[in-house]
Amino acid sequence: MSEIILASASPRRKELLLLAGIDFVVKVADVDEVIDPSLTPDGVVMSLAKQKAQAVASENPDSLVIGADTVVVLDGKILGKPKSEENAVELLTMLSGRVHTVYTGVALIKGETVKTFCEATQVEFYPLTDEEIKAYVATKEPMDKAGAYGIQGKGCILIRKIDGDYFNVVGLPVSAVYRELRDFDV
């Protein structure tokens, strides 16, 4: 069996692969993320996941490399990480009381073999008061997260329900990854 490399610096993705009992190492390469504006959200995350995996795979041709990218999409528009605390308040105000979709794209690459897939999970926020939003932003938790929240952290109290894979919202659809790895030629 090949060495498995996670091409992501995300501590949350690392934690999820560990939870699934997968043996791996982390190696991250700098990628100038190129987004084709004609792509739909699932196309964007699969493309970025592939770029991240390929940057590591080119240096490690005998390893199986996992790349991933997660975005939050509301009304067809990708919400990125907040640029400031004010922007975090804006993003959370947009999400309040509404359903959005979290897409995580995954790329598995070994040598010339490339497999990409995407998982989508619907997330419904409670209607939030301005005070709740400000209190949450004051925790700083939103600042490094797509859509300005972490479902696995203090952000848990913002969310009424989800439809899909929970771990996909955290940043990696670990169950699907586990199954694809098992079926991949490793």
- Interface ranges with its own copies (CB under 8 A): 16, 19-21, 121, 126, 151, 153-154, 156-167, 174-175, 178-179
| Residue 159 Cβ vs its own copies, minimum distance, rounded to whole Å | 6
**Beta carbon nearer to its own copies, 105 or 150:** 150
What's the distance, Cα to Cα, between the start and end of the chain in Å?
Answer: 5
Choice between 81 and 154, CB closer to its own copies: 154
Give the integer Cα–Cα distance in Å for 78 and 102. 10
State the minimum distance, in angstroms, from the CB of residue 164 to its own copies: 5
List 30, 36, 69, 185, catalytic entry? 69
CB atoms inside a 10 Å sphere around CB 100? 18
CA–CA separation, 141 and 139 (whole Å) = 5
Count of alpha carbons within 13 angstroms of residue 58, beta-carbon side: 9
Give the pairing type, strands 4-6 and 113-125.
unpaired
Supply φ then ψ for residue 74, to 5 degrees. Answer: -125, 130
- Nearer CB in complex with its own copies: 40/122: 122
Q: In whole angstroms, how close is the CB of 118 to its own copies at the nearest point?
A: 14
Which residue, 35 or 156, has its beta carbon nearer to its own copies?
Answer: 156
Nearest approach, Cβ of residue 15 and its own copies (Å): 11
- Radius of gyration from C-alpha coordinates of the chain: 17
Q: Are 26 and 60 in contact (CB under 8 A)?
A: no
Catalytic status, residue 69: yes
Catalytic residues: 69
